[in-house]
Amino acid sequence: METTVNAIPLGPDSTSTTCPNCGAQIMTVIKRKPSKVAYIISALFCVAGCCICAFVPCCMKSCKDVHHTCPNCETFLGKYEH
């Protein structure tokens, strides 16, 4: 399970900050991952009988959380939820 090291204001894009773990001035590395909402919507598509459309929410940028990490020490810094 990932934990947040420090409360850094994070947004949908890479952020300039100081890493609380290694102390370096960095631009965060971001990875977009499907959110819980995307999985719930996908399940609803399956229940409604439209399994072909179930993957669509997992591909939509608006249904993804943005995970920020340090490029130097790879510490998880937090996530931005849409």
58-79 pLDDT, tens digit each: 889 889 999 999 999 999 999 9
At 7 the pLDDT is 64
Three-class secondary structure of residue 43 per DSSP: helix
Residue 13 CB partners (closer than 8 Å, separation 6+): 30, 66
pTM over 0.85: no
pLDDT at 2 over 60: no
